[in-house]
Amino acid sequence: MMSQEPRTYFLFLFFFLSHGVASHSVPDSRQDLHPLLQKMAEEIIDGSYLNALLDLIQFQSSHGWTADLCHRILAYLNSRNVTFTIPSLQAAMENHLEQRLYQPQKLLEDLRDTDAQQFHTVMKCLLEDKKDLLELEDIVIDLGEIRKQALQSPGVNRSLFLITLERCFQVLNSLECVEILGRVLRGSSGSLLQPNIPEKLPQDLREDAFKNLSVVFKDLYDQTSAHSQRALYSWMTGILQMSFNATDDSVSWVSAENLWILGRYMVHLSLEEIVKISPVEIGLFISYDNATKQLDTVYDITPELAQAFLERISSSSFDMRNISTIHRLGLLVCFYNDLDLLDATVAQVLLHQMIKCSHLRGFQAGVQKLKADLLDIATENQTLNETLGSLSDAVVGLTHSQLESLSPEAVHGAISTLNQVSGWAKSQVIILSAKYLAHEKVLSFYNVSQMGVLLAGVGTQAFYGMDRRDLLQVLRSTNSLHVSDLSPAQKQGVLSKMIEAGDTTSGIVEIQGAFFKEVSLFDLRGEPGFNTTVLKEKELRRSQALFLYELLSKSTRRPEELLSTGQLVKGMTCSHIDAMSADSFLAHFHYFENNLSLLSPYQVNCLAWKYWEVSRSSMPPFLLAALPAHHLASVPASQCVPFLISLGKNQLDSLVLDSHKKNSVLRKVQQCLNNSIADEFAVDIVGKLLCHLPAAIIHSGISARAWATALHGLRDCPGLSPEQKAAVRLRLLEQYGLSRNWTAETMKDLGPFLVLFSGDELSSVATKFPEILQQTSFKIAGTLPPPEFLWAVFESVWNSSERNPSSHPSPGCHGVMAPSSSDIFKLAEANACWAPEDLLCMEEHTFIRSVELLGAVRAFSLPQLVTLKEKAVQVWDMPSYWKEHHITSLGRIALALNESELEQLDLSSIDTVVSLSQQTEWTPGQAKSILQGFLEDSGYSVQDLKSFHLVGLGTTLCAMNITEISLIKISEFRVVMARIGTLLCSIHILAEFKRKAEAVFGHPTKWSSSVLQELGTIAAGLTKEELQMLDKDLMPYFQPSAIKCLPDEIFKELSAEQIAWLGPENAAAVTPGQRRQLSLVQLQSLRRALDGANTRSWPDTPASARPTWAPSSGSPPGAPGTWGLWLGCPLLVIVPETMW
């Protein structure tokens, strides 16, 4: 806990002096006191307690400690007429040393003022000497714990890093100083290595120390900014060149050993330096055993540099077509360009080595082309069936028709290669799995265990048809790792088989990891074999955790056994927390703190109130954010730093969901900061709070000194506001100037911030650094960048690509510059910039190779999707001819299918429907067509549907009518309620699902917290009478999605007390429409819930409650499309912990 962290420093002094006071004989002079202890006593008198600690450590390391020393030191203090009481001395010591942890820049000043011997002691402590415990009679100083806490305190590792740079090389030998620097740097985020740091590094390091420090920099390469990489490279090469002492400029300083020392920094060598490397030295380097390992890590090498290295290697004695040489090339193989008259065997070796090319930072389009060229060579004079197992991951480039042409025997023979390849599209996996199973005939444990990544292509019905014992073996085997790749329907197919009715050994206990989250609450309630041991490796939904915690708490009396069991802490309710004694709560609080990400905002609120009641003086400050906002006003200025540190280590968005309350928290943060961040130490202290600072502070409150460190932290902020982004953009323009002057290092360091700039600002860099811009586009995949950024990426690809006018025979395509496969690959989300006519004119082979990529583009408009659908019809014929893999590959393109086209599809397989139901933008008519298409093509009636069918239908279930829902079998519905409870159906559909839920769990008045949590949005189908009858204790266990789905006229029927008990998360889910219907009293209750008020004292909680800060006192241990709007609920905001 934050309030306990600094105490390690001063506790030993307190005990030490207490020991002295307890003495019955006090010497009357200082004459026999060792000079070092006299110095320590003088430092205590002066208030230099850190220096006193260092002197004591030094004394103890070279002298024996005797009991009378305590009395002599106390006598010395008395002889100096300094009157100390133990409490006042303890408070003074505590305050000073605590402040040094909370004010790391002052710690740096103190360390600068230490004498040589004291500083030597600091450095030796950081080196982790074998003797980490100093024992003074019955007093123990834990130096290891002091070191650990110091290095974990924000800003302290920066102080230690800077002081080590300044003084260590003057006091210790360089090898020891390098070890200390490595330890401090490896424990940092990478922000310590700023571009100015190499200027502070010594230029005269011993050779062994230089090599060791180079290893540290190589290990931290990926955490280091591009500007810092360049500065460190310059420092390293400066030393290497000095030691070379060449008189002839034509002789390169880049020797084999120097290449090895540079490691990943070799990619910063210029072309001129590479071409000067002597053949002998490059040959010697390649012959090193560790050269391949080094070349495997040059992820950011460019094609120009790679080919220059290849040419130098070729100039040595190494034969570039020798298999042994190819094995040594590492990532250089990704740029191999000597393909003339290449042997098929060598091509296959190259393809095998190119598996590692996926690690390259960019240039993947060129890699794909090289693989395609090698694939043609490797299969020359042979069929695909004959060479399939020797083509490595180049097989990912095979088209649907090529895969379909493979024989089942060929796929079976190559399965050991195919099952390990990464990068398969789902449609390819479907084809290959079908081929493999066509050879095997029967789906058994053995052949499933051979499938690896292809397991996801096995049909749901096939899983359900497997022998149950085989399925159990699959889940127990290493192949269970690939079970996570299965769709929800496939997982439910496996579960259905394992827990079929009448089977007394369900095997639920055998299910591990994330797959366990698929088990229904209904099935859990019927399983007798649960204990804390079997739950350790299982992931839990909150409803499962609520049930299991309640179940196991009846037979387990030791809280630590429950709290340390996997994710079981998710299920601890406020009543469980309240029932803990003060001592037990404080002793076990670290379990909660270590699993904070698993806790709901309501649980955190309960923890905060419990801590407030039992030990508010030692309360971790971040918990104040979970209490009503008025508690923040009482944080004194002296406690601002621990408050900021504690809050900055946690996710504010998870602690505070209400915007008004969050503003209150941030006002306190700004008050503590005095609306400014003066230096990099302050950046360390605020931590993740940096992401929430207002635009005004970002623009003018962060000093120039702090900006580089702040920018490093801002890169990781997930959701900056438009105002914050604008402020960051202005600061970046101030820092780097106009975009036309940016360097490659600037582009790399800007990274995700490139999306903040206008089209005009990006236009110059799109031409100058097209590859870096495209790399940035790939790195931010999964987000939807602004159109200006997409157009800049599009421009960079357009300008750097060679293309010819389309030769497509369609009318209107003459002269159109249609996209190529390479263009589409490079553009990713920027494919949205193609005009519909460009897309329509693309070559058929381009569409076939790129359809999956195009189907993943989220920014496509409806006209573009319609054009791509028309292209699919051109290439594959009418929808009635499309197979499962065709439909699966369409992605969002399928949204352009109209109702009659959807009716033409073959939807007999639930797995085909799964691929369609993954899209969330269907209109009601389209959804109904998919639903009816499945029922008609599969031959199932609604009453025949299995649980895995219900899961696979997904959002299309919302297109059912009430009569159809009533026909669903209860036995199938009850095991997938949690999945159905994630759907945002219209309220009358949810009401019908609720009626079915009553058949499983009884009348709503009998529902428990786990049941309500399990039901999700289904609970929104409660009538106003049923809602009013719910106990207030259940209100926090509605899912936020259910609260959003409650009709306004139903929600207003909740009592003021029920609303007050919603908890912070559910209160934040209340919609504006629901809020408008509430009375003044209800609104006051909602405000209390949002604020985190203590519901246990409802309605009378004193607003004046304030914390009593006693920091020195001891403490006990311890952009969905508009098509989705037909659904009955508002579209959800992401909440801290999702359902699945």
The percent of residues in the chain predicted with pLDDT above 90, rounded, is 66
Statement: residue 428 has pLDDT above 90 = yes
Q: Calculate the CA 443 to chain-centre distance.
A: 36
Lowest mean pLDDT among 495-509, 517-531, 562-576, 666-680: 495-509
Lowest mean pLDDT among 596-605, 913-922, 998-1007, 1105-1114: 1105-1114
Position 658 confidence tier, pLDDT thresholds 50, 70, 90 = very high
Alpha-carbon gap, residue 889 to 179, rounded angstroms: 53
| Mean pLDDT score, 517-527 | 91
Position 1026 confidence tier, pLDDT thresholds 50, 70, 90 = very high
Alpha-carbon gap, residue 108 to 708, rounded angstroms: 20
pTM of the model: 0.89
Statement: residue 1107 has pLDDT above 50 = no
Q: CA of 1077: how far to CAs of 182, 1002, 1030, 1071, 1140, in Å? A: 61, 30, 20, 10, 32
Six-digit token string for 861: 């408009």
Q: Which of 1001, 1004, 1041, 1020 is nearest to 521 (CA)?
A: 1001
Query: What is the structure's pLDDT at 139?
Result: 59
Q: Which of 1130, 1132, 1125 is nearest to 923 (CA)?
A: 1125
| DSSP reduced 3-state for 565 | coil
Task: Give the residue, 137 or 1012, on which the prediction is more confident.
Answer: 1012
Query: What is the structure's pLDDT at 90?
Result: 63
Query: What is the structure's pLDDT at 381?
Result: 83
Task: Give the residue, 135 or 366, on which the prediction is more confident.
Answer: 366
Query: What is the structure's pLDDT at 4?
Result: 42
Lowest mean pLDDT among 234-243, 409-418, 1049-1058, 1114-1123: 1114-1123
Alpha-carbon gap, residue 582 to 358, rounded angstroms: 54
Q: CA of 370: how far to CAs of 22, 292, 357, 381, 769, in Å? A: 81, 21, 11, 19, 22
Query: What is the structure's pLDDT at 1137?
Result: 39
Alpha-carbon gap, residue 259 to 1023, rounded angstroms: 74
Give DSSP secondary structure letters for 37-73.
HHHHHHHHHHT-HHHHHHHHHHHHHHS---THHHHHH
Query: What is the structure's pLDDT at 20?
Result: 42
| Mean pLDDT score, 501-510 | 65
Query: What is the structure's pLDDT at 427?
Result: 95
Position 801 confidence tier, pLDDT thresholds 50, 70, 90 = confident
Angle among Cα 655, 659, 665 to the nearest 5 degrees reads 60
Statement: residue 688 has pLDDT above 90 = yes
Query: What is the structure's pLDDT at 103?
Result: 87
Q: Report pLDDT digits (tens) over 840-894.
A: 999 999 999 999 999 999 999 999 999 999 999 999 999 999 999 999 999 999 9
Statement: residue 303 has pLDDT above 90 = yes
Q: Report pLDDT digits (tens) over 374-417.
A: 999 998 888 899 999 888 889 999 999 999 999 999 999 999 99
Q: Are 429 and 456 in contact (CB under 8 A)?
A: yes
Mean pLDDT, the chain, whole residue set: 87
| DSSP reduced 3-state for 241 | helix
Statement: residue 951 has pLDDT above 80 = yes
Q: Report pLDDT digits (tens) over 37-49.
A: 889 888 888 888 8
Statement: residue 778 has pLDDT above 60 = yes
Q: Report pLDDT digits (tens) over 573-622.
A: 999 999 999 999 999 999 999 999 999 999 999 999 999 999 988 899 99
Up-side HSE of residue 100: CA atoms within 13 Å toward CB? 26
Position 697 confidence tier, pLDDT thresholds 50, 70, 90 = very high
| Mean pLDDT score, 1131-1140 | 39
Position 1131 confidence tier, pLDDT thresholds 50, 70, 90 = very low
Query: What is the structure's pLDDT at 841?
Result: 92
Position 977 confidence tier, pLDDT thresholds 50, 70, 90 = very high
Give DSSP secondary structure letters for 687-753.
GGGGGGS-HHIIIIIB-HHHHHHHHHHHTT-S---HHHHHHHHHHHHHHH--GGG--HHHHHHHGGG
Position 146 confidence tier, pLDDT thresholds 50, 70, 90 = confident
| CB within 8 Å of 1001: residues ≥ 6 apart | 1007, 1011
Query: What is the structure's pLDDT at 262?
Result: 95
Query: What is the structure's pLDDT at 283?
Result: 93
Position 232 confidence tier, pLDDT thresholds 50, 70, 90 = very high
| DSSP reduced 3-state for 782 | coil
134's enclosing H/E stretch is strand 133-136
User: Which of the given ranges, 76-90, 614-628, 804-818, has the highest pLDDT on average?
Assistant: 614-628
Q: Report pLDDT digits (tens) over 473-493.
A: 888 877 677 888 899 999 999
